[in-house]
Chain A
Amino acid sequence: MQHTEVINSTELIFEHRPKIILMRFLLLSFLSFWILGFLLPAISSANNMMTNFLLSKIYSSVCHQESAKCISIGSTSMLVCARCAGIYAGALIAGLLSLLTNRPSISRRALIFSSIPLAIDVFLTFTGVYKYSQSLAFTTGLAFGGIVYLLILSELENFFSNKPFKGNE
């Protein structure tokens, strides 16, 4: 019985393999594009005020952009804080690694464990136990971003293969 299930799931992976690889590339490309967006003012020499304003507005709806909490490259800062940059960097690393693996399987426990350091860091800096550290915020975001990316990927793959997680609506 169990053996048949394993064969079925392996068949399912190979059946949907091209679709899954394409989807992983698309998701990774989208993530890279998003990361490039918040890095652009820091790495680009072109200074169009309107573009900078638009980019700043786009990222301001998903990040507080406090200058003291943003990583600076040269004289300009990124458009997101160190924690968000860490989350996206973690997602990018997970995205690259996912191209080499078969099917990511992330448990709810992994998500909870990865969010604990982040939540503790937010709580301790908010209550003033210690001062905000960009490197600590970046590191705690890194693990969380990676796990969240794999969870999204696994759910999207279930969606496209459409068999194991079919709802009963």
Chain B
Amino acid sequence: MNKKYLPGLVCGFGAAVLTTIPGVQTIACCLLVPIASVISIFLYKKSQPGLLKIQTGTGILLGLLTAVFAALFASGFEIIITYITRTSDLVTSMPQAEKVVKDMNLGPAAEESMEVLKQMVSEIQSKGFSFLYAFLITATNLITYSIFGMLGGLIGTAVINKRNQSV
């Protein structure tokens, strides 16, 4: 396996596992994926002892790989947990959302989107799986994690290269 994939895979999996543990995201918040990307670059550097400096492009690529793996694993975990428990945060927040739509009389657009959400909720409650829900969480995770992973890659490259300069 290419040496660039392995740190990304390990750190991405680690970050995805941490996102499923309640309370961890409360502490790490938006820094979980960037931290995983920084560790991934550190591991990549460790795996190549002759490497003095890491190119910024390589850092971004490693961050992106970590983020993509994290997004895929995190989405997979959420889909499995939803399948087992037959509930998700969408199901729990639905009665409140319905009440808001009824109370505020938000019009036909709100009613239509409410119908789509209701369909997702009923599929989750009956079968434990909704294709639209699975697609939405995977897509949103891929987008946001990729952005934060690349940013983490940039920070990691800067930090590790500066560290080498000072040594």
Chain A residues within CB distance 8 Å of chain B: 47-51, 53-54, 57-64, 66, 80-81, 83-84, 87, 106-108, 111, 122, 126, 148, 151-152, 154-156, 158-159, 165-169
Whether A58 and B144, one on each chain, are in contact in the complex, defined by CB atoms closer than 8 angstroms, is yes
A122 to B97, CA, bound (A): 31
CB atoms of B117 and A53 under 8 A apart: yes
Residues of the B chain whose Cβ atoms lie less than 8 Å from the Cβ of A167: 51-56, 58, 161
Name A126's closest neighbour in chain B (CB-CB). Answer: B27
Chain B residues with Cβ under 8 A from A50's Cβ?
113, 116-117
Chain B interfacial residues counted at CB < 8 A: 51
Binding stretch for chain A, among B79-87, B123-131, B133-141: B133-141
Which listed residue (A108, A154, A166) contacts B166, Cβ 8 A? A108
Contact A57–B137 (Cβ < 8 Å)? yes
Q: Does B17 contact A (CB under 8 A)?
A: no
Partner of A107 from B113, B154, B162 at Cβ < 8 Å: B162
Query: Are the CB atoms of B158 and A159 closer together than 8 Å?
Result: no
Contact B144 A62 (CB under 8 A): yes
**Chain A residues near B52 (CB, 8 Å)?**
167-168
The answer to whether A168 and B113 touch across the interface, beta carbons within 8 angstroms, is: no
What's the minimum C-beta distance from B167 to chain A, rounded to whole angstroms? 11
